[in-house]
Amino acid sequence: MADLGFHDGASVTAVYLHTFGCKANQYDTEVVRQALETAGVAVVDDPLLADAAVVNSCTVTHTGEAKMRRLVRRLARMRPGVRTVVMGCAAALDDGAIAALPGVERVVPGADPTAVLAALGVPDVPMKRILRTFARGSRAWLKIQDGCDEHCTFCATVLARGTNRSRPASEILEEARALAATTDEIVLTGVHIGSYGRDRGGSLGELVELLVNSVPGLRFRLSSVEATEVDDRLAELMIGAPDRLAPHLHAPLQSGSDRLLRRMGRHWYTAAGYVERIERLAARMSAFGLGADIIVGFPGETADDHRATRDVLTDLPFTYAHVFPYSERPDAAARRLGPPVPAAVASARSAELRALVAEKAASYTARRSGEPGDVVLLGRRAGCFEGLTGDYLTVRLSTAAGALPSRFTGLLRGNDNGLTVEWSGH
């Protein structure tokens, strides 16, 4: 084990890692993990065993930042003398408040692993930025791009992450092949994956087609992607080869009101265009997982705006949705649009939308009972094995523990606790 140190000479032998936020953040933390392990530094799951900590921060909501600050303070109480490095999106926008937290040694804007290692006093090590084993159960994340060229008025992430930067397709393919040795599903992630290739003369559809054709035997899945950025290549792969590209979209909607979409700076689609694109795709698939992000209580949201969002949720076959009360970010343009709706109103509207989506999800789950599911094993939880279907349903394995395959096709069965899947053992 390497005995490396901070710039003041204090040794670093064991590091605790914690991540807030999206899959892109989780991926960035894994790059840091691999760099530390390559340098001979132990990465530990128990902060009490660490002499340093790296906290990857998120700036999407004030709640996420508050959780990060609480964790940093708790680490300082639990492990007096621990040196904490805060990286990520909130770190990129820090005005000094994060640096002033107890135990914080350095604040590293963004996610450059070399900068994180330098902040820890660990010399940079020669390593290819190719992850080999980033898997949760039998699923792995693969970040294909960073940054965003849009300027949604509610979002501070673009300020923290910068403009779209696509990774070379050859590098992504090399990483996918390395991950394929230990996983059955690769989730393609980033900050705005639908913009992949625009800076390189390519497209997301071309990349996914390359991966599907070049890395046989596993399932790819798109993380969050704009509905209007699902091109014909992606649609045909989902429809014609759902075992290779999961029949699942997480397509941010944010609002069903065109007036509110314009206030949000989401100029590239209308509610009608969103609905048309999703309906056309859903009509050609028997199993289709559909999720969305919804912001409730945005400045200026009226009862009519809320009703328009509810209508879109009613009309489309959503199987889940992330409904968020609007969270003002200090550096985002939306704070200049006036106050959000009262908290009590936003809470009631959020509850209404969540109940609507929960009802639709239950209906979809009931319909899938008795049908086959392409299941990737996630692992054991509460004494039972769980898996994930291509259409993004979590299922419990009804078969007794034994020699379980990491991916299989089984029959889905509904019950009071959701879905189970029957595996024949063959």
All structural domains of the chain, each given as residue ranges with its CATH number in brackets, are: 4-120 (3.40.50.2300), 135-367 (3.80.30.20), 369-422 (2.40.50)
**What pLDDT tens digit does each residue of the chain (426 aa) get?**
333 345 455 678 999 999 998 888 888 998 899 889 888 999 999 999 999 999 999 988 888 889 999 999 999 999 998 999 999 998 988 889 999 999 999 999 988 888 999 999 988 777 666 666 555 568 889 999 999 988 899 887 766 788 899 999 999 999 999 999 889 999 999 999 999 999 999 999 999 999 999 999 999 999 999 999 999 999 999 999 999 999 999 999 999 999 999 999 999 999 999 999 999 999 999 999 999 999 999 999 999 999 999 999 999 999 999 999 998 887 778 888 988 899 999 999 999 999 999 999 999 999 999 999 999 988 877 778 889 999 999 999 876 545 678 899 999 998 877 899 887 665
Q: Position 425: which residue type?
A: G
Identify the pLDDT of residue 3. 35
Q: How is residue 86 written in tokens?
A: 């805060």
The contacts of residue 142 (CB under 8 Å, 6+ apart) are 27, 131, 134, 172, 175, 176, 179, 186, 187, 188, 189
Identify the pLDDT of residue 400. 57
Q: Cα–Cα distance between 132 and 110 in angstroms, integer? A: 22
Nearest CA-CA partner of 157 in 283, 18, 293, 296:
293
Identify the pLDDT of residue 11. 72
Q: Cα–Cα distance between 293 and 141 in angstroms, integer? A: 20
Identify the pLDDT of residue 137. 62
Three-class SS of residue 415?
strand
Q: pTM (2 decimals)?
A: 0.87
The contacts of residue 318 (CB under 8 Å, 6+ apart) are 290, 291, 292, 357, 360, 361
Identify the pLDDT of residue 312. 98
Chain centre to alpha carbon of residue 11? 34
Identify the pLDDT of residue 130. 65
Q: Cα–Cα distance between 212 and 241 in angstroms, integer? A: 9
